[in-house]
Structure 1
Amino acid sequence: MTPFTLVSRSVEYESRLRFLLGERLRVVPGEYMLLGSETVADRAGEPRIVVLGPVLNFEETRQLIRELTQRNPNVVLVVVREQRSELEDWVDQLDLHAVLSPDASDEVTLELFERLMRWMVTTGRAEAADFEVPTPTPDEVRAIVEGPFVPRVDEAEAEDAPVESDETAEAVPAGPRWEFPPLPSDTPSEALAVVAPKGGQGKTTMSINLASGLAEVAPNSVVLVDADLQFGDITAALALQPEHTIVDAVAAVDDELVLKTMLTHHRDGFFVIASAPSPEFADQVPAAALGVLIERLRKLFRYVIIDTTPGLGEHSLVVLEHVTDAVFVMNMGVPSLRAVRTEFELLRTVGLMPANRHIVVNFADKQSGLTVRDVEHIIGAPVDVEVPRSSAVLLASNRGVPLIHDDVRDPAARGIRSLVMRIAPEAFPKRTWIHRKRPAHEPQ
């Protein structure tokens, strides 16, 4: 029996709990929620303690709690979620036993589980035998996490094992820390360029949230490339501190193992290639090399998202040559819309309009003086997604988190979610009627 079950979309958090709980933990990937809470509960087995999250929204959590408690009224439920403004609503509306921060230390996490286990045994909800495998003490965890890794050597081998001194030992380059799920040969890789004719359209925000949303569909098989080489700010918006940038990635493109070490992992289950460290380094990323990098990444990841430089410079045009989809982002201002129309005409003329097109009107506002029909008339194409103006976008950016998971009920988050569903409709079978990809050559 496995007394603990984790339901989560975060591979990073799953790895942490597997380390702490070992064989006592059963994991059900959050992607099974697409098949319904009953399916998840079936796969959960008969746990004593269920950990929900991170990266599960309110409705998913509510459905799971209802299904799990119907099957076992004595089950203990722990939600893993940051201390956000809406957390009080979660506590008030959901029948929870504990809330745990995803950033809680191993010691704090183990202490919570210990207290819950003692309480369950004391109240008769479980027996001591249900938790028979001893939990590591905080001191043991600290020794493993902070101490050096010493491989196990059998005594019979130890006598013959050569001893290396510090002078003779050679440093072995570290490999990538994260597991990269293999891309099945029958699974097409999609590359998406996020494009805007001008700055200030919300292109970077759209790129970040698109990566976070698609990571729910393909955990750890999404990479976000910051190809705004002079002023890219994706890592700042995500509060990441990358050790490497796109300059390093381009130089390592021929070595898959080294290339993987150039990536920065985000806890939502996607990877980031940071922009050049400063504008003067942009010249070290030739346009052709950027195209080679995209093709290389498409062999490794299910989704490759490229946040481009505003306008249609050389690098942006090369990106459009190597992608399957383009997400065009604009606001409801007439100058922005006219620039988009000009952009469309140019791309059709040079034959660089990607096979699939997604038109997003950002900062949609009824007070702008324009309607969506006016927007479509100006740009000469139908609008696919509307993202309302929302102060939550700035708040999420200032906190360094994707909006799509920071405030799932916000109208802007829902608009972005519809874009994710449009790009990956196969992952949302119950709602594929909402959107579909529009081929760029489809008659208007």
Structure 2
Amino acid sequence: MSRFVLITPNADFDGRLRQAVAGGLQGGVQTFFTNVVPAGPYDLLAQLNQEQPEVLILGPDLPIEDALRLATVLDVQVPNLMVLLASEPDPALILPAMRAGVRDVLSPSAEPNQLRVLLERACQSFANRHRGDQQGSVENQKGAVIGVFSPKGGVGKTTVATNLAIGLGQLAPMSVVLVDLDLQFGDVASGLYLNPETTVTDAVSPAASQDTLVLKTFLTVHPAGIYALCAPASPVEADFITPEQITRLLEQLADEFQYVVVDTAPGLPEVGLAAMEMCTDLVWVSGMDIPSVRGLRSGMEVLKQLDILPEGRHVVLNMADPKCGLTVQDIESTIGVPVDVSVPRSRTVTLSTNRGTPVLLDAKKDPAAKGLSQLVERVSSNSRANGPRSSHRRVLV
């Protein structure tokens, strides 16, 4: 069985791809030297003796429309297959490619070492999906829904949510969607420097709720390889979005993505509570000040009384400063649970937020980035798709 299948008339690209595989990847490459795209998965599998590869590379020098049409069909009928597109980098191509289910876009001139990195990433995504299938239940096949919550505003909740989504996207490219459920004043679009044409309002429309393929066309693509579903352009639109619509939306997204990150509004609005009922993990964000710590304690108590606390819990102390008059022990004593991740105060985070470039993309060596990376690792290892949840560990500031 060939682990990688390439369809292209370009012999030079085939040579570099084979060098990439020979340089450290297991499995073989089967190449079809043609510019004719198979009509569908059955035509493709017939040429492969009904054996399914892990990664299919389309192009270069294939008709783009035909390649995207095949990718769309494969995304529905053979969802475990990782489809890559080799084409000249064009911003106008990225969105239709991701909507078609393409997992990555490769430069036709990429060197073997660059191709190897992208192939390794695709193989890892294949392994993650295959492992989910082997778990044998519909529930386990669903993606993790991770809510980022704080009763108080101004604690950096959206900064945590955007960086968490970016970090998970680096682990699972094109398998992460960030949903902004601060429906009146959400900042995900500005935090990612996006100008979305569609928003949550479109995503909960009857057409989208009945057809996931329609829903995916309303997602906005970020260059880092994640999707975003941004808040409505007008706060007035929030009044027309119901908790039932949000429940259905998150159900659909969890069926399609490995990770669904939800940036909730401050407080406990009905839409936020509906989202929390869908969450497999909840990231609690607190600043290092008495009002936000007390607010977090109250929020935890309310959710406990409502019996909608998800199993996965990750307490993040954001903008941590040992000179502020509080200690981690003070905070833990107040909220009654351990602090899991500490993100130190950093000017770099403020600058990255103002530029719309998450710190995990822009300044990975910054101390705050290290704390955010720890959160990404913790959430990914604790998600239901990756096995048992780890225990809480005390952090020091």
Deviations 1:365-393 (A, max 9, x none): 01110110111011111100000000111
Which blocks of at least 5 consecutive residues in structure 1 are unaligned? 1-17, 30-38, 46-135, 152-173, 440-444
Equivalent position SS for 2:209 = coil
2:197 aligned with 1:215? no
Does the CA contact (< 8 Å) of 1:193 and 1:327 recur in 2?
Answer: yes
The letter for the 1-side match of 2:263 is D
2:201 aligned with 1:247? yes
Does the CA contact (< 8 Å) of 1:211 and 1:222 recur in 2?
Answer: yes
The letter for the 1-side match of 2:194 is L
What is the match of residue 202 of structure 1? 156
2:268 aligned with 1:277? no
Equivalent position SS for 1:366 = coil
Where does 1:215-234 land on structure 2 (aligned, <5 Å)? 215-234=169-188
> Of 226, 231, 238, which aligns to 2:192?
238
What is the match of residue 335 of structure 1? 291
Question: Do the aligned partners of residues 417 and 288 (structure 1) sit closer, same or farther apart at CA in structure 2, a change above 3 Å counting?
Answer: same
Q: Distance in 2 between matches of 1:300 and 1:27?
A: 31
Does the CA contact (< 8 Å) of 1:225 and 1:304 recur in 2?
Answer: yes
Q: Distance in 2 between matches of 1:150 and 1:327?
A: 42
Larger Rg: 1
Does the CA contact (< 8 Å) of 2:352 and 2:359 recur in 1?
Answer: yes
Does the CA contact (< 8 Å) of 1:197 and 1:340 recur in 2?
Answer: yes
> Of 1, 6, 14, which aligns to 1:23?
14
Equivalent position SS for 2:204 = helix
Question: Do the aligned partners of residues 264 and 344 (structure 1) sit closer, same or farther apart at CA in structure 2, a change above 3 Å counting?
Answer: same
Where does 1:283-294 land on structure 2 (aligned, <5 Å)? 283-294=239-250
Equivalent position SS for 1:367 = coil
Q: Distance in 1 between matches of 2:364 and 2:11?
A: 30
2:335 aligned with 1:379? yes
The letter for the 2-side match of 1:42 is G
2:362 aligned with 1:406? yes
The letter for the 2-side match of 1:382 is P
Where does 1:352-391 land on structure 2 (aligned, <5 Å)? 352-391=308-347
1:356: how far off?
1.0
Does the CA contact (< 8 Å) of 1:356 and 1:438 recur in 2?
Answer: no
Q: Distance in 2 between matches of 1:25 and 1:259?
A: 37
Does the CA contact (< 8 Å) of 1:338 and 1:379 recur in 2?
Answer: yes
What is the match of residue 179 of structure 1? 102
Q: Distance in 2 between matches of 1:335 and 1:344?
A: 14
Does the CA contact (< 8 Å) of 1:385 and 1:418 recur in 2?
Answer: yes
Does the CA contact (< 8 Å) of 2:220 and 2:228 recur in 1?
Answer: yes
Does the CA contact (< 8 Å) of 2:280 and 2:312 recur in 1?
Answer: yes
1:437: how far off?
5.3
What is the match of residue 276 of structure 2? 320
What is the match of residue 93 of structure 1? none
Does the CA contact (< 8 Å) of 1:197 and 1:336 recur in 2?
Answer: yes
What is the match of residue 380 of structure 2? 424
Question: Do the aligned partners of residues 437 and 188 (structure 1) sit closer, same or farther apart at CA in structure 2, a change above 3 Å counting?
Answer: farther
TM-score normalised by structure 2 residue count: 0.66
Does the CA contact (< 8 Å) of 1:191 and 1:323 recur in 2?
Answer: yes
Q: Distance in 1 between matches of 2:248 and 2:146?
A: 15
User: Greater CA deviation, 388-397 or 181-190?
Assistant: 181-190
Question: Do the aligned partners of residues 388 and 273 (structure 1) sit closer, same or farther apart at CA in structure 2, a change above 3 Å counting?
Answer: same
What is the match of residue 43 of structure 1? 25
Q: Distance in 2 between matches of 1:287 and 1:320?
A: 11
Does the CA contact (< 8 Å) of 2:142 and 2:255 recur in 1?
Answer: no
Does the CA contact (< 8 Å) of 1:222 and 1:301 recur in 2?
Answer: yes
Equivalent position SS for 2:173 = coil
Q: Distance in 2 between matches of 1:300 and 1:286?
A: 22
Where does 1:187-198 land on structure 2 (aligned, <5 Å)? 187-198=141-152
TM-score normalised by structure 1 residue count: 0.59
Question: Do the aligned partners of residues 341 and 20 (structure 1) sit closer, same or farther apart at CA in structure 2, a change above 3 Å counting?
Answer: farther
**Aligned-residue identity in percent:** 41
Deviations 1:179-235 (A, max 9, x none): 267855335521000001111111101111101111122111111001100001111
The letter for the 1-side match of 2:189 is T
Question: Do the aligned partners of residues 19 and 259 (structure 1) sit closer, same or farther apart at CA in structure 2, a change above 3 Å counting?
Answer: farther
What is the match of residue 57 of structure 1? none
1:26: how far off?
2.8
Question: Do the aligned partners of residues 410 and 308 (structure 1) sit closer, same or farther apart at CA in structure 2, a change above 3 Å counting?
Answer: same
Q: Distance in 2 between matches of 1:314 and 1:327?
A: 18
Question: Do the aligned partners of residues 416 and 28 (structure 1) sit closer, same or farther apart at CA in structure 2, a change above 3 Å counting?
Answer: farther
Two-structure CA RMSD over aligned residues (Å): 3.4
The letter for the 1-side match of 2:159 is T
Q: Distance in 1 between matches of 2:272 and 2:66?
A: 48
Equivalent position SS for 1:315 = helix
Question: Do the aligned partners of residues 330 and 296 (structure 1) sit closer, same or farther apart at CA in structure 2, a change above 3 Å counting?
Answer: same
